[in-house]
Amino acid sequence: MKKNLVVVGYGGMGSWHVAHALESDVVNLKGIYDIDPKKTELARSKGIYAYSSYEEVLNDKDVDLITVAIPNDQHKDVVIAALDAGKNVICEKPVTLSTALLEDMIAAAKKNNKVFSVHQNRRFDVDYLAMKQIHDSGEIGKIFNIESRVQGSRGIPSDWRGMKQYGGGMIYDWGIHLIDQIMMIKGKNVKYVYCRLDNITNKEVDDGFKLELIYDDESRAYIELGTYNFIAMPRFYMQGMSGTALITDWREKAKVTKCKYWHESDVVPVETAAGLTKTMAPRDSVTVDEYEVEKPASNVHDYYRNFCATIDGKATQLVTYEDMLFDMKVMEAAFKSAELGQVIEF
Ligand SMILES: NC(=O)c1ccc[n+]([C@@H]2O[C@H](COP(=O)([O-])OP(=O)(O)OC[C@H]3O[C@@H](n4cnc5c(N)ncnc54)[C@H](O)[C@@H]3O)[C@@H](O)[C@H]2O)c1
């Protein structure tokens, strides 16, 4: 049976949840709640039931599930109140602002025996899925380096995301997605974390960052987020012992170049303006194979399908507490590294 859902926060992301809920095979949209009366009016103008207080949502016995899509600093209290009222909860990312706060939320879920998870929707992005597929298949050998970049040129949004008190900044906003994706590809055996923050258009919170993770096996992941890049670098770049994979842009397919023969008898040197190089000479079809990888199939509503199946005891939740805690600890280590200007042992 469909679960009755209320979306708390009817802003940008709340509207997204509402639009998906209206077409869902697993949830039935019961309504929304927003502190802003204009959002209440907007919902009502669209025929969506708008609760007049959060208490009304919590006291509604028909509500099975609450999705929380409000500014980051408020997640913890609103989520714990929902769990204590016996509701299952999906919380938008970042689930909260520190490991200590997250532990309180997890404790509330366990105490009330409710399902609680964070909306890591970018586990359904096909660029990430393609990279994970290439990584897991072993087709380019053991991976020793992966780079994930998202770069725009419009600065940090001028809303609460630009303000520290609301949990603004790009590590919390985009970093959480990119850290989670890398965790899904590389696992959790991180040994060191090093991070630098950008403050190009905003001095209060990070408007970009460069984060390096070093793993127990010495392999590396590099995550870069920029909001002042008028030319963007490739979305993903991955190096394995027998090839390289690249995604230039999240609309594009992955390209793979695989090494067939390591040695070449006659390397034609590249002639640059000031000299010759054999080391950097490009390869040709004699020694490498080049191909594209089809975009993997993906349906972001599988997140809700999994969540509802977990409520019914028919699945285990996709984004686990261990995942949530790991992502949070990496973000904390990144902030600490940036503050101290040091590599942090993880
Ligand atoms: N997963 C994603 O892809 C994704 C994308 C965008 C935003 N988000 C997350 O969604 C959350 C909301 O972001 P947004 O872009 O929708 O912000 P927004 O500013 O567009 O909307 C937030 C809404 O919450 C309302 N609100 C604030 N406090 C409230 C409270 N205590 N109770 C009820 N309503 C309240 C505001 O009035 C506003 O309508 C953030 O945590 C953000 O990080 C996730």
pLDDT tens string 232-259:
999 999 999 999 999 999 999 999 999 9
- Output the pLDDT for position 276: 94
- Output the pLDDT for position 66: 98
Residues of the chain with CATH 3.30.360.10: 123-297+329-345
Pick 3-119's CATH classification: 3.40.50.720, 3.40.50.740, 3.90.180.10, 3.30.420.40: 3.40.50.720
Q: Which atom of ligand 1 is nearest to the CA of 36?
A: 37
Q: Which atom of ligand 1 is nearest to the CA of 8?
A: 33
Q: Which two tokens stand for residue 174?
A: 């985009």
Q: Which atom of ligand 1 is nearest to the CA of 120?
A: 1
How many angstroms is it from 92 CA to the middle of ligand 1?
8
CA–CA distance from 29 to each of 8, 63, 67, 163, 240 (Å)?
12, 10, 11, 31, 46
Supply the pTM of this predicted model.
0.97
Q: Which two tokens stand for residue 22?
A: 């209206």
- Output the pLDDT for position 266: 76
Residues of the chain with CATH 3.40.50.720: 3-119
Residue whose token pair is 């990119």? 178
CA–CA distance from 303 to each of 17, 119, 173, 214, 273 (Å)?
11, 8, 19, 30, 53
Residue nearest to ligand 1 atom 4, measured at CA: 13
CA distance 338 to 196: 5
CA distance 252 to 233: 13
- Output the pLDDT for position 328: 98
Low-confidence ranges of the chain (pLDDT < 50): none
pLDDT (tens digit per residue) in 99-156: 999 999 999 999 999 999 999 999 999 999 999 999 999 999 999 999 999 999 999 9
Q: Does domain 123-297+329-345 have CATH number 3.30.360.10?
A: yes
- Strand residue runs (E) in 88-235: 88-91, 116-118, 143-151, 190-198, 208-215, 220-226
* CB contact set of 313 (below 8 Å; sequence gap of 6+): none
Cβ < 6 A, ligand 1 pocket:
8-14, 33-36, 39, 69-72, 74, 78, 92-93, 119, 121, 159-160, 173
- Output the pLDDT for position 285: 87
Strand 190-198 and strand 243-247: pairing? unpaired
- Output the pLDDT for position 263: 78
Residue nearest to ligand 1 atom 18, measured at CA: 11
Pocket test for ligand 1, best of 6, 7, 8, 13 (most atoms within 8 A of CB): 13
- Output the pLDDT for position 268: 86
